[in-house]
Structure 1
């Protein structure tokens, strides 16, 4: 069974896709870029600022998706500025300072949607089926 989930707390998708798909205990969150929830526009700033916004948006959406950050199992990270990856890691370390971090893969890419510097997709698992 597949449950399609959305959240009014974050900007609606700019393209046709489902923001989160739950299948049994698993939640698959589509790649998120740093959109301002109030305006829907990309936030200004570098990799660190955009990463912070992505995690802030994720935490807002998780309230509607039915998952918690503690249930995050995997993150796939894409960036057009791999030379600034230290900024990403600073945010990552802060977000997971008090909980076990998930597995992750980081990939440098040429371009991302909407001119984003960072995009992250997430996989969650819960004990709810």
Structure 2
């Protein structure tokens, strides 16, 4: 059985997908971009602010599913420019003060809504 999750009060996803899906005690969080769930607008005036918004969106989805950030076991980070790696890392690290999940970071040529960063993750219900 699977269960679908969405950030409470957030606008619908911009495509035919769910924000998060849980199956067999594993939560799959779709790639999050820096959309403010309250206003539906991009919060991307800087890479640092964009990363904060993305991570806050991930946290909201994980908590909506009844989990915590410590349940995240894997993240995938997609950057429009790898020169922003250290800025993204600095903000990302604030959400994982200990035992960071496995992850990869790759540069891509374009992201939805032409944002600079997108992050997806997998969390497990222990």
TM-score normalised by structure 1 residue count: 0.90
Q: How many residues align?
A: 126
User: What SS class does the counterpart of residue 48 from structure 2 fall into?
Assistant: helix
Q: Is the 8 A contact 1:76 1:106 kept in 2?
A: yes
Partner of 1:68: 68
* Contact kept? 1:67, 1:126, Cα under 8 Å: yes
Q: RMSD value over aligned CA atoms?
A: 1.4
Note the residue ranges of structure 1 that are not aligned, 5 or more in a row.
Answer: none
Distance, in Å, in 1 between the alignment partners of 2:21 and 2:38 is: 24
Give the aligned partner of residue 29 of structure 2. Answer: 29
In structure 2, what is the equivalent of residue 112 of structure 1?
A: 111
Runs in 1 of length 4+ with deviation above 6 angstroms?
none
1:51 and 2:47 matched: no
Q: CA deviation at 1:9?
A: 4.1
Give the Cα separation in 1 of the matches to 2:40 and 2:120: 18
Q: Contact between 2:70 and 2:96, CA under 8 Å: does it hold in 1? A: no
Q: Distance in 1 between matches of 2:10 and 2:41?
A: 11
C-alpha separation in 1, matches of 2:24 and 2:86: 35
Q: Distance in 1 between matches of 2:48 and 2:124?
A: 26
